[in-house]
């Protein structure tokens, strides 16, 4: 079996090829993935079924929870969603080699800031089998390479998806099949963290403890979020029916998602607090009033509830207990909405809509490799743009620095 170091070394070599591929070639690879997924649909579901059988045993033994088991299931709708995501990704423009800005340093001396792929990216993700294709496709479109580690519960589904991607790359002239790789064990992760010679970035999608472990055990830059403590604040001016629909959607549409609401804050002057609580319970939501801990990601139909004095109290609560992920205000007061937007320190801040909208696919990024609460080059849903960095290209005409030092020439520094 190939060592992790060899996998990383080969991925680095592959990156030196993929970084310069044109958009047509990358789109051809994505198109090949679509074709092979359709051809192997029955095999995909059979592999997923094996994972579900094993996961059912783990659920009964208490080794995994119900949300983890639910995330594992791959059905026709999810598979069609994957195909649709790939088709949408093909339509997006190439995120690399885009001129971000251009400046004249002097006549005949032009500086350009140009987007470029990051390199080899290690992605550790949860037991959602559709994640593999979503992540791999974004890596391919952005000209990067990747080493992926999925949840052990989805080992069969991830394996067939990896085979599909590898096959698609082999069918695409110009691509190196080592661009996308799958590793399987926790030991692989530990070894991967030492390979800063080959990897440029690690993106963990998992528990708080996993993210913390990775950050403490690698020199490789880490991009991601530890938890999704998302809030909805119901302002005193909010419309009741709209608020109810939005909160129900944000909590029940997919309770285990990282952008599902976990804490509901309600202005004390909102005139139907009791009605709202009662109606939320009717929708199967368990309400916990004033819990001891406001930093819990329930991942279930459970909602912490707190009554606050005003919008500023809501903002202070969010900035103290939130995880910087996604927070929403329901209000008809433009001033309060603007205040919420400006003062809540989160990667996505919304008004009058569900927190479930903070998603790479819904934002039009062509799915996402993860959500970042970092304040580095990428924040929020990390789609294609978040998987690029930049380089500077300076186009000269026989220029030398000495001319500027001696005053023979002067810089213009003119934006173009």
Indicate whether 81 and 110 sit together in one domain: yes
d(CA 133, CA 141): 12
Q: Which two tokens stand for residue 407?
A: 């005053």
Kindly state the percentage of the chain with pLDDT values over 70. Answer: 99
The answer on pLDDT for 205 being more than 90 is no
Indicate whether 220 and 235 sit together in one domain: no
Structure confidence at residue 26 (pLDDT)? 98
Residue at 191 is within a domain: yes
Indicate whether 125 and 200 sit together in one domain: yes
Residue at 52 is within a domain: yes
DSSP per-residue string spanning 161-203? HHHHHHHHHHTSTT--GGGEEEE-SHHHHHHHTT-TTT-SEEE
Indicate whether 11 and 63 sit together in one domain: yes
Indicate whether 165 and 292 sit together in one domain: no
The answer on pLDDT for 207 being more than 90 is no
d(CA 197, CA 12): 9
pTM to 2 decimal places: 0.83
Torsion, Cα 343 254 267 290, to 10 degrees, reads -100
Q: How many domains does the chain have?
A: 2
In degrees, rounded to 5, the angle at the alpha carbon of residue 313 between the alpha carbons of residues 311 and 317 is 115
Indicate whether 320 and 291 sit together in one domain: yes
Indicate whether 20 and 149 sit together in one domain: yes
Indicate whether 119 and 205 sit together in one domain: yes
Indicate whether 220 and 90 sit together in one domain: yes
Residue at 179 is within a domain: yes
82-86, 185-189, 241-245, 321-325: range with lowest mean pLDDT: 185-189
In this prediction, residues 9-13 reach a mean pLDDT of: 97
Residue at 415 is within a domain: no
Indicate whether 145 and 214 sit together in one domain: yes
Q: What CATH number is given to the structural domain containing 153?
A: 3.40.605.10
Residue at 363 is within a domain: no
Residue at 90 is within a domain: yes
Q: What CATH number is given to the structural domain containing 339?
A: 3.40.309.10
Structure confidence at residue 226 (pLDDT)? 66
Indicate whether 219 and 236 sit together in one domain: no
The answer on pLDDT for 151 being more than 90 is no
The answer on pLDDT for 368 being more than 80 is no
Kindly state the percentage of the chain with pLDDT values over 90. Answer: 78
Residue at 409 is within a domain: no
Residue at 401 is within a domain: no
Residues in contact with 294: Cβ distance below 8 Å, sequence separation at least 6, in sequence order: 229, 263, 304, 306, 317, 321
The domain in which residue 47 lies consists of 4-224+374-392
Indicate whether 140 and 64 sit together in one domain: yes
């Amino acid at each position: 079996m190939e060592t992790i170091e060899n996998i990383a070394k080969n991925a680095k070599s592959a990156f030196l090829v993929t970084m310069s591929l044109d958009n047509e070639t990358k789109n051809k690879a994505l198109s090949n993935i679509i074709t092979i997924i359709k051809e192997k649909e029955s095999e995909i579901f059979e592999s997923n079924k094996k994972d579900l059988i094993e996961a059912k045993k783990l659920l009964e033994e208490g080794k995994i929870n119900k949300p983890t088991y639910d995330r594992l299931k791959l059905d026709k709708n999810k598979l069609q969603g994957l195909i649709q995501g790939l088709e949408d990704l093909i339509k997006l423009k190439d995120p690399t080699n885009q001129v971000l800005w251009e400046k004249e340093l002097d006549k005949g001396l032009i500086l350009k800031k140009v987007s470029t792929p990051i390199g080899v990216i290690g992605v550790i993700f949860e037991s959602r089998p559709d994640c593999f294709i979503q992540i791999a496709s974004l890596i391919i479109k952005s000209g990067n390479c990747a080493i992926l580690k999925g949840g052990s519960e989805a080992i069969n589904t991830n394996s067939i998806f990896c085979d599909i991607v590898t096959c698609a790359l082999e069918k695409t002239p110009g691509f190196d099949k080592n661009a996308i790789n799958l590793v399987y064990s926790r030991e692989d992760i530990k070894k991967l963290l030492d390979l800063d010679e080959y990897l440029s970035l690690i993106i963990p999608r998992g528990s708080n403890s996993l993210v913390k472990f990775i950050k403490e055990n690698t020199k490789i830059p880490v991009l991601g979020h530890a938890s999704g403590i998302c809030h909805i604040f119901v302002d005193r001016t909010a419309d009741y029916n709209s608020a109810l629909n939005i909160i129900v959607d944000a909590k029940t549409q997919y309770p285990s998602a990282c952008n599902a609401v976990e804490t509901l804050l309600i202005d004390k002057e909102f005139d139907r607090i009791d009605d709202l609580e009662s109606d939320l319970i009717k929708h199967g939501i368990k309400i916990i009033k004033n819990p001891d801990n406001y930093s819990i990601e329930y991942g279930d139909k459970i909602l912490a509830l707190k009554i606050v004095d005003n919008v500023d109290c809501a903002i202070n609560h969010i900035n103290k207990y939130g995880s910087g992920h996604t927070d929403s205000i329901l209000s008809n007061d433009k001033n309060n909405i603007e205040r919420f937007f400006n003062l809540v320190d989160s990667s996505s801040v919304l008004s009058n809509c569900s927190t479930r909208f903070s998603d790479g696919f819904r934002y039009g990024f062509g799915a996402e490799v993860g959500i970042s609460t970092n304040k580095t080059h990428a924040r929020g849903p990390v789609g294609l743009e978040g998987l690029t960095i930049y380089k500077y290209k300076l186009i000269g005409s026989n220029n030398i620095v000495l001319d500027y030092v001696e005053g023979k020439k002067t810089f213009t520094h003119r934006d173009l």
